[in-house]
Amino acid sequence: MTVYAKSPDGEVGWERFMAKRARRMRSSAIRELLKVTQFPDVISFAGGMPAPELFPVREIEEACHFILREEPAKALQYSATEGYPPLREFIAESMSKYGINRTPANILITTGSQQALDMLGKVFIDEGAPVLTSSPTYLGAIQAWRAYGARFITVPLDENGMQVEKIEPLVKQEAPRFIYVLPNFHNPAGTTLPEERRRLLVEIARKYDLLIVEDDPYGALRYEGEDIIPIAMLAPERTIYLGTFSKTLTPGIRIGWASAPAEIILKMVQAKQGADLHTSTFDQMVVNDVAQRGFLKVHVKRLRKEYHRRRDTMLDSLTEFWPEGCSWTHPHGGLFLWAQVPETVDTQELFHIAVERKVAYVPGINFFPNGDGGRHAMRLNFSNANPEKIVEGIRRLGVAIREMM
């Protein structure tokens, strides 16, 4: 790589002009890992990518064609920071179906859900501000909020998600800016928060008058069991709900949304205005067109069927190929499961052996915001590889684990 400048004292050096927060920023471990795993013969359970063979290419092409024929001057022009009005309406109506009373004034369209996380950091997190999360938690949230100087107060997970019973003394002591939860098919853990825990969470949040961030990228992708009431429905007055079309449609066209009390949306809009003016008008209109035609429902059914099969394949393969002393979660939906290996195996060390055997995953430690766990755990994605590859990849991992034990 070309380096153009050295500072006067001989060091390479523009760092001296950088903000304190820039020193906290790091490249996500996953991204670095993914570089190792992009060779075509590596079976990767590391990313969180949907199955590309299921992308609704024809429907998207039809939407492009329709929009450019009917409203080209609108589709290619600057547009409102809040988002394309018909899409905001569509989302508000869809959420109202679940009994949450949302109007377009409660909806902000974002460049993927990740941007909503960033906007939350920008609006709510000062240097050193406490944020309550489960541990492990979503890597992208850690990355977004660490840049703003968040201090992560963490609560452990069990097979039913965040141990909500443990949060009261923490919120009492710390008054976090918000409580961050992934109630459905947690990334990375694959766990789901039962209704009682959701109700308890809301009760505590009400008692201490706190905000809840409900991150729900996978909610529509349920393979067994019944839908559980969203937290945003239990406590619309204090819940910032994050949704996305990345998992139900395609992630390359980056359309997500935040739904929240209007006063919070207003502040997030101001933050977004400085951040990118608005999300691609064209992409918003394409997603809106596909969604308004009622295609999502059909498509999600198809996704559920295929991902269900892949999840089962992974669960069966784990039982078949992994040694005793290992365990894993049984996700009712989503894209991930969380596996534990025996304490003699460190999943960061194991990673190198695994890559030699042409298989990859993300070591658990990366999902712990304070780096205090996950040494014997890993996240496995089951949506991207086909069933054959899943069997072979889990077999290879089993061999690698035995080798290290």
**Hey, which residues between 149 and 168 contact its own copies (CB under 8 A)?**
none
**Which CB sits closer to its own copies, 262 or 298?**
262
Query: Among the candidate windows 21-29, 155-163, 348-356, 390-398, which touches its own copies by CB under 8 A?
Result: 21-29
Check binding of 22 to its own copies (CB under 8 A): yes
**Which CB sits closer to its own copies, 28 or 327?**
28
Residue selected from 190, 236, 243, 333 as contacting its own copies according to rule CB under 8 A: 236
**Which CB sits closer to its own copies, 254 or 396?**
254
Check binding of 211 to its own copies (CB under 8 A): yes
Provide, rounded to whole angstroms, the least separation between the CB of residue 162 and its own copies. Answer: 20
Burial track 320-354 (b if 16+ CB lie within 10 A, e otherwise)? ebbeeebebbebbbbbbbbbbbeeebebeebbebb
Which of 336, 328, 329 lies closest to 310, judged by CA?
336
**Which CB sits closer to its own copies, 38 or 370?**
38
Residue selected from 214, 215, 216, 283 as contacting its own copies according to rule CB under 8 A: 283
Kindly state the number of chain residues that form the binding site for its own copies, as judged by CB under 8 A.
99
Residue selected from 46, 118, 179, 326 as contacting its own copies according to rule CB under 8 A: 118
- For residues 255 to 274, the per-residue mask of contacts with its own copies, x marking binding by CB under 8 A and - elsewhere, is ------xxxx--x-xxx-xx
Residue selected from 65, 172, 207, 293 as contacting its own copies according to rule CB under 8 A: 65
Q: Are 252 and 231 in contact (CB under 8 A)?
A: no
Provide, rounded to whole angstroms, the least separation between the CB of residue 325 and its own copies. Answer: 34
* Residues 183-202, interacting with its own copies (CB under 8 A): none
Provide, rounded to whole angstroms, the least separation between the CB of residue 344 and its own copies. Answer: 34
Check binding of 366 to its own copies (CB under 8 A): no
* Residues 36-55, interacting with its own copies (CB under 8 A): 47-50, 52-53, 55
Which of 92, 114, 113, 60 lies closest to 283, judged by CA?
60
Neighbours of 88 (CB within 10 A): 25
Give me the residue label for tokens 């070591």: 363
Check binding of 291 to its own copies (CB under 8 A): no
Check binding of 147 to its own copies (CB under 8 A): yes
Provide, rounded to whole angstroms, the least separation between the CB of residue 222 and its own copies. Answer: 22
Please, which residues have CB within 8 angstroms of residue 16's CB and are 6 or more apart in sequence?
A: 7
Rg (Cα) of the chain, in Å, rounded? Answer: 22
Q: Are 47 and 384 in contact (CB under 8 A)?
A: yes
Neighbours of 11 (CB within 10 A): 9
Check binding of 203 to its own copies (CB under 8 A): no
Residue selected from 33, 46, 91, 125 as contacting its own copies according to rule CB under 8 A: 125
Provide, rounded to whole angstroms, the least separation between the CB of residue 226 and its own copies. Answer: 27
Provide, rounded to whole angstroms, the least separation between the CB of residue 279 and its own copies. Answer: 7
Which of 89, 60, 52 lies closest to 289, judged by CA?
60
Q: Are 380 and 337 in contact (CB under 8 A)?
A: yes
Provide, rounded to whole angstroms, the least separation between the CB of residue 12 and its own copies. Answer: 6
Check binding of 94 to its own copies (CB under 8 A): no
Check binding of 101 to its own copies (CB under 8 A): yes
Check binding of 122 to its own copies (CB under 8 A): yes
Query: Among the candidate windows 138-146, 293-301, 306-314, 396-404, which touches its own copies by CB under 8 A?
Result: 138-146
Residue selected from 238, 332, 379, 396 as contacting its own copies according to rule CB under 8 A: 238
**Which CB sits closer to its own copies, 230 or 398?**
230
Check binding of 60 to its own copies (CB under 8 A): yes
Q: Are 92 and 103 in contact (CB under 8 A)?
A: yes
